Structure 1
């Protein structure tokens, strides 16, 4: 596909990078994302969405640490259904097709479990790599995850308009690639693989 350097983020400087633990966050992105715009095509929603996906992936470390501390399994069908049910409710609230919201979150759940399984094997083989602190799953971890999940659904809804602008498709693919590369530069292979899985729906939208 021919590259059109036409997308830009309105009112933001994309040449700044901020490391918040996930490697990228809303409002701060690698300089490669900043093109020379000739036609407006705002991609704010996509950039923020990809950044929050990365933050959620990093939360999987705390999820696993909390589960292990409470002797809970990685797979939790009841909790997963709660996440899906909440996704349906929030999707309807923001005007998003619930099928899109739930489909997106099923992928996020699988990406998180993929990472948790990999980390569990790693920590079992090398206990010194496991977190020293054990967060409380219900008090600390899940409320933070629920907040991120709601933010993700709002951003998915925002990107609907952006996705309809096919003129931006190739640039948006490039944005996702650059964000992935920026994060992957200092993430290990387990986290990189999980991030690729989690970002798959975004790539497929374009």
Structure 2
């Protein structure tokens, strides 16, 4: 399992210049938590997909986005991408673990006490960064800058191929489309 690196920037209010870096660092951190989610569910019969829980998260994000002055649909789209990226990583890990029993997790993390509080913390941080980066995310250069930031975050967090695919899946809704 890759080690979780610390974000390169404080998680308070970033400047627009470093905001995309912080955003992709948070995405990487969230993707690495997918390992714990997968380990908690693997072999239990609990499905990776949980539409009711996913909708609850998206509804909460939309409500919080309104309070922060963000477009709730755009914020929900970013988090829908995060959820799908997380599920992509979980499926990749399941495939890896099914193929090689030596790779299987030896501990089952507690989703409610250990994993979800970390995910909730990241959710709040991502929403704050989305607020701080509204201008840069609307700029024509956003996609280029976002993918550059994602490369650095992937490198800094030592993402493997499964998590790299997750990072790619996490990005599409970040930049505003004209």
Q: TM-score, normalised by structure 1?
A: 0.73
Runs of 4+ in 1 over 6 A off after TM superposition: none
Aligned partner of 2:152 in structure 1 is 179
**Cα distance in structure 2, aligned partners of 1:51 and 1:197:** 14
> Is the contact made by 2:150 and 2:167 (CA closer than 8 Å) also made in structure 1?
no
Which residue of the other structure, out of 131, 135, 148, is the alignment partner of 1:161? 135
Unmatched runs of 5 consecutive residues or more in structure 2:
none
The aligned counterpart of 2:28 is 54
In terms of Rg, which structure is larger? 1
Indicate if the aligned counterparts of 2:138 and 2:175 stay in contact, CA closer than 8 A. Answer: no
Partner of 1:26: 8
- Given that 1:45 and 1:158 are in contact with CA atoms closer than 8 Å, whether structure 2 keeps it comes out as yes
1: CA distance, partners of 2:142 / 2:93:
34
Q: Over the residues paired in the alignment, what is the CA RMSD in angstroms?
A: 2.7
- Given the superposition, is the C-alpha separation of residues 61 and 159 from structure 1 closer, same or farther in structure 2, using an over 3 Å criterion? same
In structure 1, the partner of 2:61 is 87
Q: SS of the residue aligned with 2:171?
A: helix
Q: Which runs of 5+ in 1 are unaligned?
A: 1-19, 29-40
1:109 aligns with 2:78: no
Q: Does 2:153 align with 1:191?
A: no
Q: What is the CA deviation profile of residues 133-191 of structure 1, one whole-angstrom value per residue up to 9, with x for unaligned ones?
A: 1111111111211111121111112110223455x65862563254256258x432111
Find the counterpart in structure 2 of residue 139 from structure 1. Answer: 113
**Residue 127 (structure 1) shift:** 1.9
SS at match of 2:172: helix
- 1-structure distance, mates of 2:95, 2:159: 17
Match of 1:71 among 36, 45, 63: 45
Cα gap change, 1:72 to 1:175, in 2 (>3 Å): same
User: Are 1:200 and 2:172 counterparts?
Assistant: yes
